[in-house]
Amino acid sequence: MRSTRASAAIARLNARDGDHSYSMGITGSGLFYLLRAASEGSPERIGDDLPLDEFVRFVNQTGPQQKVRVSKLDVAFEKQLQRKKDAE
């Protein structure tokens, strides 16, 4: 069950980064590490051995990031909040 969050983070990273293929490894002590497939065949290790929460955070910060979509309503609401803040 522990590795489900980690493997989901790897799947999201592979979806974001089409240039590389990533996978993960687990040490005997239950720590996770990130692997990136190299063209020579043997994968290169990225980062250190990390506990689950830190590993998921590290994987989420790795590679290209998706831009947050902002709707017109969100922009209008932010402007309204700014006007209210300026009026005070």
Q: Flag whether the pTM goes above 0.85.
A: no
Task: Work out the mean pLDDT of the chain and round it to a whole number.
Answer: 88
- Of 53, 54, 55, the closest CA to residue 23 belongs to 55
The whole-number average pLDDT for the span 68-81 is 91
pLDDT of residue 74: 92
Q: Provide the residue range defining the domain that includes 31.
A: 2-87
What burial class does residue 23 get, using C-beta atoms within 10 Å of its C-beta: 0-12 exposed, 13-18 middle, 19+ buried? middle
Residue 55, token pair as written in the block? 């590993």
pLDDT of residue 2: 61
What burial class does residue 35 get, using C-beta atoms within 10 Å of its C-beta: 0-12 exposed, 13-18 middle, 19+ buried? middle
Confidence of residue 72 (pLDDT cuts 50, 70, 90): very high
What domain count does the chain have? 1
